[in-house]
Amino acid sequence: MALPEIVSRDEWRAAREELLVREKAATRARDALNAERRRLPMVEIEEEYVFEGGDGKATLLDLFEGRGQLVVYHFMFAPEWDAGCRSCSAFLDQIGHLAHLKARGTTFAAVSRAPYTKLLPFKARMGWTVPWYSSNGDFNHDFEATLEVEGKPADRPGISCFLRDRDRVFHTYSTFARGLDGLGSTTSLLDLTALGRQEEWEEPEGRASALGAPAGSVRIRYHDEYED
C-alpha cells in the first residue's frame, strides 16, 4: 500500500502551508467561476410540463412550492426498473436538511421518468423526505437528462436550476455527470443557482436581496427555528 511519506511536524506544517496557498487560489477561482455562472442568460419555459407527486398532478410552477428558485435533481429511474439508480440514490443520501435551502427561497426536488407508484415505495425504503416527482413526458428529454441512444431513451444524472418571476419560469443552468462531483451541501447547490448564496460579497451585485429577504448568512438558524 502506497501511504503518505512520514515526516516531522515542522515538515508537515511547511508542506501544508505551501498547499494552502494553492487551495486559496482554487477558492478564488471557484468564486469567479460561480459569478460567471450567475451571469449566464436564462430561457423562459413556455411548455406545460405535467408531473405526478404526493399531491397528484403538478406543473413546473407547482414544484417551486411558492419559492423563487427550484433545483431539480434528474434521478435515473426508468419506467421499466423496479429500483432507482444506485449512484443517484447515494447522491440523495447526502442531501442535508432542506430547511436551509428553503430559508434562501430555494426548493429542491427530484424528478424521474418512472411512474410515481414505483417512486413512492422506493422513497419509503430509502427513508427520504425530499419531494420526488414522476415525469414520463418531454421534461427529461428537453433538459437533456434523457438522451436517445441507438433509438432508445437513456437517462443520465444531472441537475437543472430554475428561477421564478411571479408565474413566469426560467431555466438558468444545468449540469450532468462529473458536474455533480462535490455537490450535495446547501452552499454547493446554491452556487448553481442564478441568485447564488445571496451574500452581499457575491458578484454580480444586487442579487443578495432579490427575493426580498436579508443576505443569506444573516438568515441561518437551527433548522427547527425557521418559519417556512
Cα distances from 112 to residues 119, 123, 150, in angstroms, run 8, 12, 21
The predicted model scores a pTM of 0.91
Q: Looking at residues 54-61, what average pLDDT do you find?
A: 95
Residue 217 has pLDDT above 70, yes or no: no
What is the side-by-side order of every strand in the sheet holding 168-176?
43-44, 168-176, 158-165, 69-74, 106-112, 132-134, 50-53, 56-59
Helix (H, G, I), strand (E, B) or coil at 208: coil
Q: Could you report the per-residue pLDDT of 89-135, keeping only the tens digit for each?
A: 999 999 988 999 999 999 999 999 999 999 999 999 999 999 999 99
Q: State how far the Cα of 58 lies from the Cα of 48, in Å rounded to an integer.
A: 10
Cell, residue 205: 451585485
Q: State how far the Cα of 205 lies from the Cα of 187, in Å rounded to an integer.
A: 18
